[in-house]
Structure 1
């Protein structure tokens, strides 16, 4: 096997591994067990506003 063939194989392998990683992240993000965690994270900016309003009074 020549050097050029090895690079082509490495590129193909890297592409497949990158795609599988992307699919894994998507499945993790959209899993039903993560819903509560993401809901809490989405409300974090609003939690800071409550603290600011209380300290200004």
Structure 2
């Protein structure tokens, strides 16, 4: 296996993981949990 082929494969896999994280973060199912986490610093104990 050539090192340049390995670098290309790693680049493609990293890009796919990045796109997966973006899709997960913008998913509507996680909105309530993210909204709750965003309000945590402003809540009084």
After TM superposition, the score normalised by the length of structure 1 is 0.75
Larger relative contact order, structure 1 or 2 (CA cutoff 8 Å, min sep 6): 2
* Structure having the larger proportion of residues in helix: 1
Aligned-pair Cα RMSD in Å: 1.0
After TM superposition, the score normalised by the length of structure 2 is 0.93
Larger radius of gyration: 1
- Gaps in structure 1 of 5+ consecutive residues: 52-57
What is the aligned length? 45
